[in-house]
């Protein structure tokens, strides 16, 4: 029993030692950038330390895991490996030292900590040396000397901990394995569905404060293991840069919408993102099924976009597409790169400048897939997620079902006088489809769960909109209903990555909708990325930052979506599917004489998108 206790004590001492090192590293970062702190040193220090707590423990557990592995190796070999552990400790502390020294200067020069951009420079030492020429070496060396001294003292303390004698008997292998299990939980940030990411540390819309909260070692490991340049390389450069840029500009010749859809210049705006609402669940939008009768009735009475397509096939991609007008990429999701999303425009940022309050509502965990980090840097004032519901409402495996979500939205917006912008993201129609509803008339096939959940979500949406009509703010409010992405629903004779899967409903309703546009169908093809440009142009607010789509009145409009490693493209008269692995178009509909230009325009769009993604 004594041996097991010593083993646990030794591990936690090592864990806490690394945790202490990371707190000192945060102080180093803040003191180095003292003149950049908008809210003062002590407030930023406390807030960033608290917000970065889980990430600090995760990074500490990564370091401690190395010594746990050595402990297991000692028992297997029946010999002490103190010399090896000393070398390992020196290596780890040296890495921590280099990253801690580099990050404050990197932030001053580039506005971010260690990221994929640094990896590009590492592979180009001459350019790296030229860039480093502007560094304040005196300041850096002075700070580094102090940090080195502190690390040396902590190294001596660590050696004393590592020298704690432990029995090499097989009986200690069990506690060691238990410790590895505990350590793994700390590394992933808990036992929930969502694993830890930089998102867990981000708490402010000021980049310096978020940078202080994000653990430097964890951040560096993340970018080393997810180098964005390695995702794409150059094999998707089908055209020369000049040709791709030319074709891209030609297909996105922007004009301003002439239609006046809003009755007032600055209405309240509510976007309801409907989880997995495929147009193929709707009789009105596709004629294929009748599982959204309430949405269909709403669409018939208001402004509906009949040929709208999702940009990607995941919720986090849809969130960025809808709020930032930024297309999904074929092999990546920009939302998991905090340094990139911080440079993106968004509807919430634009409306904040007009005096809007920004709210986000979700029944699940907002930290899932780094969504919370994205929302914070995009100037959302309040984020309501599963933590805002009582336990009785958390009946879904993901969190709170749509009926509870919409109830919360109405409760929080009840006294709002505007202008406000709210994004509501539903989840009941997400796998595993565990909704409190059962339509026995639906065929019990493999698609029953999804179809049944869609019907439940559809009814919840209808009840929400009916209750919205009773609110004091309704007549000054525009409500936009759009899916985050599509979903398979069992259609036969369609390709898995075909446009049918990406076809989604898009409806504009609310008390501030111009009566002239009620009952109107927009038949031009649009992408879900149109939302920011559509809303801002109706308000007379410049929308040139959102340059990835045409407007809805353009007869030459198009929608392009990306999947795994390919893309689909749809216009009013053509559509195609292209695979990046085989570099072939395997499905095309339209005029054969126009097919080559059509595919080249799609290639150019993808090429410019990837270049833009890598450059952020």
User: For 481-516, how does the pLDDT look when each residue is reduced to its tens digit (9 = 90+)?
Assistant: 999 999 989 898 888 789 999 999 999 999 999 999
In whole angstroms, give the CA distance from residue 139 to residue 145: 10
Q: What is the pLDDT of residue 255?
A: 65
> Average pLDDT in the 379-388 region?
96
> Alpha helix locations (H) across 282-360?
293-301, 315-324, 338-341, 347-352
Dump pLDDT digits (tens) for 230-274: 677 787 899 999 999 999 999 986 666 678 999 999 999 999 999
Joined together, the tokens standing for residue 171 give 């009986």
Give the C-alpha separation, 294 to 364, whole Å: 24
Instruction: Let me know: does 157 contact 17? Beta carbons within 8 Å.
Output: yes
DSSP state of 262: B
- Give the model's confidence band at 576: pLDDT under 50 very low, under 70 low, under 90 confident, else very high: very high
In tens, the pLDDT along 534-555 reads: 999 999 999 889 989 888 888 8
Longest dimension (CA), the chain: 84
Confidence band of 223 (pLDDT split at 50, 70, 90): confident
d(CA 350, CA 181) in angstroms, rounded, equals 46
Q: What is this structure's pTM?
A: 0.79
In degrees and rounded to multiples of 5, residue 240 shows phi and psi of -65, 160
Q: What is the pLDDT of residue 28?
A: 93
The ranges of the chain annotated as CATH 3.40.720.10 are 232-615
DSSP character string of 263-303:
SSSS-EEEEEEETT--GGG-TTTTSS--S-HHHHHHHHHSE
The residue among 125 and 218 whose pLDDT is bigger is 218
For domain 232-615, the CATH class is: alpha beta
């Amino acid at each position: 029993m004594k041996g097991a206790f010593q083993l646990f004590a030794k591990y936690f001492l090592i864990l806490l030692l690394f945790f202490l090192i990371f707190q000192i590293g945060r102080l180093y970062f803040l003191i180095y950038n003292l003149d950049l702190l908008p809210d003062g040193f002590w407030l930023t220090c406390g807030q960033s330390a608290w917000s970065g707590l889980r990430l600090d423990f995760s990074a500490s557990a990564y370091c401690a895991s190395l010594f746990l592995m050595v402990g297991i190796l000692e028992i297997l070999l029946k010999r002490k490996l103190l010399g090896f552990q000393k070398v390992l400790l020196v290596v780890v502390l040296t890495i921590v030292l280099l990253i801690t020294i580099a990050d404050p200067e990197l932030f001053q020069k580039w506005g971010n900590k260690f990221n994929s951009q640094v990896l590009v420079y590492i592979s180009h030492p001459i350019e790296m040396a030229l860039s480093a020429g502007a560094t304040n070496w005196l300041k850096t060396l002075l700070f580094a000397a102090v940090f080195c001294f502190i690390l040396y003292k902590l190294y001596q303390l660590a050696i004393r901990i590592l020298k704690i004698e432990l029995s090499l008997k097989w009986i200690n292998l069990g506690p060691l394995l238990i410790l590895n299990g505990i350590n793994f939980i700390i590394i992933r940030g808990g036992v929930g569905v969502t694993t830890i990411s930089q998102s867990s540390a981000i708490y402010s819309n000021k980049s310096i404060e978020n940078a202080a909260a994000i653990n430097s070692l964890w951040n560096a490991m993340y970018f080393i293991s997810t180098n964005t340049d390695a995702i794409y390389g150059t094999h998707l450069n089908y055209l020369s840069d000049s040709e791709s840029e030319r074709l891209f500009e030609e297909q996105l010749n922007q004009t301003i919408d002439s239609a006046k859809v809003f009755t007032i210049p600055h209405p309240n705006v509510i976007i309801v993102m409907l989880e997995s609402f495929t147009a193929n669940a709707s009789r009105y939008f596709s004629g294929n099924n009748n599982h959204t009768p309430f949405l269909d009735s709403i669409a018939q009475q208001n402004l509906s976009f009949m040929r709208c397509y999702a940009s990607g096939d995941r919720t986090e991609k849809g969130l960025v597409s809808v709020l930032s007008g930024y297309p999904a990429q074929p092999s990546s999701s920009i939302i998991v790169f905090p340094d990139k999303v911080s440079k993106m425009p968004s509807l919430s940022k634009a409306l904040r400048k007009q005096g809007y309050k920004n709210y986000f509502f979700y029944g699940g965990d907002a930290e899932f897939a780094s969504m919370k980090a994205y929302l914070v840097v995009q100037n959302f004032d309040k984020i309501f997620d599963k933590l805002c519901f009582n336990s009785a409402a958390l009946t879904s495996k993901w969190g709170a079902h749509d009926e509870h979500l919409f109830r919360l939205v109405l409760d929080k917006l009840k006294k709002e006088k505007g202008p406000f912008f709210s994004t509501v993201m539903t989840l009941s129609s997400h796998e595993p489809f565990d909704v409190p509803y059962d339509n026995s008339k639906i065929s019990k096939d493999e698609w029953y769960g999804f179809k049944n959940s869609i019907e439940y979500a559809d009814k919840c949406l209808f009840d929400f909109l009916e209750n919205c009509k009773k609110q004091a703010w309704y007549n000054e409010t525009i409500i936009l209903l759009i899916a985050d992405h599509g979903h398979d629903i069992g259609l036969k004779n369609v390709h898995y990555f075909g446009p049918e899967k990406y076809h989604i409903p898009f409806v504009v309703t609310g008390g501030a909708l111009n009566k002239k546009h009620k009952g109107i169908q927009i038949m031009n093809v649009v992408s879900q990325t149109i939302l920011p440009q559509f809303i801002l142009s109706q308000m007379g607010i410049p929308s040139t930052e959102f340059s990835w789509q045409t407007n809805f009145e353009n007869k030459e409009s198009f929608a392009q979506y990306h999947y795994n490693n390919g893309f689909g493209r749809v216009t009013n008269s053509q559509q195609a599917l292209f695979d990046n692995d085989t570099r072939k178009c395997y499905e095309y509909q339209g005029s054969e004489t126009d097919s080559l230009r059509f595919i080249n325009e799609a290639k150019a769009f993808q090429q410019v998108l990837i270049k833009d993604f890598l450059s952020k």
